[in-house]
Amino acid sequence: MLVRLTIGAIAIASVVGCSAGVATTTTVAQSGQSNGLQAVAGSYGLLSIDEHSLPYTPPSRDASIVPTQAVSGALTLNANGTFAISTTYRTVDDQGERRFDGQFSGACARDGDAYRMFWDGGGETAVQTSGDTLLVNRDGLIFRYLKRR
């Protein structure tokens, strides 16, 4: 009986969430169901961007912006269906060198043979796996991460 009530509550919550126009992501810890992340869960270090070693200055669409180099980065995929990603950047201008970190989080789930990251605050990103390597397509740039041992 308890199982039927739980399933009914989940179904109703899903319908209410969809009808309200609010997208929600459920983690494994919340649902108790596997999302297939166990095989790739772990900590990864950023190796390259578009096959360029770090530091790398991605092309900018706006020539008036001071060039920003990606210096390092890390990605953590958790078996509970969440992720955290950080990238350290630096700029060099007349006032010297400045560093800053871009930090983001969200949920991650299987997407066919690959995975998809759903960013807190909106947006999603495709993730391909190859052995201990993750390829994350961020706005057309391929970020390559290697699993830390």
CATH number of 36's domain: 2.40.128.300
Determine, yes or no, domain membership for 12: no
**Cα angle 7-83-32, degrees, rounded to a multiple of 5:** 20
Determine, yes or no, domain membership for 138: yes
- Give the Å distances, CA to CA, from 12 to 19, 30, 31: 10, 16, 15
Determine, yes or no, domain membership for 128: yes
Determine, yes or no, domain membership for 62: yes
Question: DSSP assignment, residue 30?
Answer: H
Contact criterion met (CB below 8 Å) for 105 and 126: no
pTM, two decimal places: 0.73
Determine, yes or no, domain membership for 36: yes
Determine, yes or no, domain membership for 21: no
Determine, yes or no, domain membership for 16: no
Rounded Cα gap, residues 87 and 58, in angstroms: 13
Encoded tokens for 112: 């066919």
pLDDT, residue 35, reads 54
The number of domains in the chain is 1
Determine, yes or no, domain membership for 119: yes
The secondary structure element, H or E, covering residue 62 is: none
Rounded Cα gap, residues 124 and 76, in angstroms: 16
Judged by DSSP in three states, 86 sits in: strand
pLDDT tens digit at each of 149 positions of the chain:
333 333 333 333 333 333 333 344 444 444 444 457 888 999 999 999 999 999 999 888 787 787 899 999 999 999 999 999 999 999 988 888 999 999 999 999 999 889 999 999 999 999 999 999 999 998 889 999 999 98
Please give the residue range of the domain that contains residue 107: 28-147
